[in-house]
Amino acid sequence: MGRRGSVGPVAFLVFGTEPSGSSVPGFGFGYKDVVRVRRFLSVLLVLCLSPALAAEGGVVLALSGGGTRGFAHIGVIEVLEEHKIPIVGIVGTSIGSLIGALKASGYDAAEMRRIVGDLDLPSLLAENTGPMFVFTGNDRRARTSTVSALTYKKSGRQRGPLGILTGDKLYQYFTQLMRHVTVTDFYDLPIPYAAVATDVRTGEKVVFRKGNLPSVMRASMSIPALFEPWEINGRLLVDGGLASNLPVDAARELFPSIPVIAVDVSDSPSADRVLNSYIDVIDQSLTIMMRRTTEEEARHADLVISPKVRGFSFLDSSRADAIVEQGREAALARIEEITALSNRGPGILELEGTREGSDIVEDVRVEGLPEKAALDLRKRCLPWIGKPVDRDRVEQTLQRLIASPGIATADYQLGRTESGDLVVLLDIRQSPELEIGLSGYTTNLHRNRWLYLKGTARGLLSDYDSLSGVVRLGEQWGIGLSYQTAPESMNAWEVNFAAHNWAMETSGGERDWDRYALGVNRLFSWGDVRWGLGLAYERVEGTRGSGDDKRDAVGPTFFASYDTLDIPSDPTKGHAWRLSAWWPNLKEINYRFTYFKPLEVGDNWRTYFRVGYAEGDLDFRGHAVYLGAAEELYSISSRPVEAERMAWASVAFRRVLSRSVLGLVAAELFGSYGHAMDRDYKKIASPWEVGLAVNFPNNLIDIKLAAMYGSEEFKIGFFLGVPIWDHYPLP
For residue range 416-441, list pLDDT tens digits in order.
Answer: 777 777 888 887 877 778 888 888 88
Q: Which residue has the higher pLDDT, 402 or 304?
A: 304
Q: What is the DSSP letter of 464?
A: T
Strand order through the sheet with 422-430:
361-367, 422-430, 407-416
Residue range 253-260: average pLDDT?
A: 91
Residue 263 confidence class, pLDDT cut points 50, 70, 90: very high
How confident is the prediction for the chain on average, in pLDDT? 79
pLDDT digit string, tens, across residues 43-88:
444 434 333 333 367 899 999 988 889 999 999 999 999 999 999 9
Whole-number percent of the chain with pLDDT over 90: 33
Residue 357 confidence class, pLDDT cut points 50, 70, 90: low
In angstroms, rounded to a whole number, what is the distance separating the alpha carbons of residues 620 and 297? 77
Judge contact between 448 and 454, C-beta under 8 A. Answer: no
Terminal-residue alpha carbon distance, the chain: 37
Burial class (CB within 10 angstroms; exposed 0-12, middle 13-18, buried 19+) of 627:
buried
Q: Which residue has the higher pLDDT, 189 or 367?
A: 189
In angstroms, rounded to a whole number, what is the distance separating the alpha carbons of residues 208 and 508? 67
pLDDT at 676: 96
User: Does the pLDDT value for residue 30 go beyond 60?
Assistant: no
Residue range 512-525: average pLDDT?
A: 90
Highest mean pLDDT among 10-19, 364-373, 404-413: 364-373
User: Does the pLDDT value for residue 39 go beyond 80?
Assistant: no
pLDDT at 17: 36
Q: Find the angle CA(673)-CA(713)-CA(649) to the nearest 5 degrees.
A: 10
Residue 34 confidence class, pLDDT cut points 50, 70, 90: very low
Give a three-class secondary structure readout of 525-549: EECCEEEEEEEEEEEEEEECCCCCC
DSSP codes, 635-650: GGTTSPEEESEEEEEE
Residue 601 confidence class, pLDDT cut points 50, 70, 90: confident
Exposure string (b/e) for 463-479, b if CB count within 10 Å is 16 or more? ebbbbbebebebebebe
Kindly list the distances between the CA atom of residue 375 and the CA atoms of 48, 222, 426, 532, in Å, as whole numbers in the listed order: 50, 31, 12, 20
Lowest average pLDDT, out of 213-217, 344-348, 361-365, goes to 344-348
pLDDT at 35: 38
Lowest average pLDDT, out of 143-157, 372-386, 451-465, 579-593, goes to 143-157
Residue 382 confidence class, pLDDT cut points 50, 70, 90: confident
In angstroms, rounded to a whole number, what is the distance separating the alpha carbons of residues 7 and 210? 14
Residue type at 375 in one-letter notation: L
User: Does the pLDDT value for residue 547 go beyond 70?
Assistant: no
Residue range 120-142: average pLDDT?
A: 54
Residue 37 confidence class, pLDDT cut points 50, 70, 90: very low
Q: Which helix (H) or strand (E) holds 67?
A: none
pLDDT at 416: 72
Beta strand 260-263 with 303-305 is parallel
Residue 646 confidence class, pLDDT cut points 50, 70, 90: very high
- pTM: predicted TM-score of the whole model, two decimal places: 0.67
pLDDT at 586: 93
pLDDT at 380: 79
Q: Which residue has the higher pLDDT, 395 or 673?
A: 673
Residue range 363-380: average pLDDT?
A: 80
Residue range 511-530: average pLDDT?
A: 87
User: Does the pLDDT value for residue 334 go beyond 90?
Assistant: yes
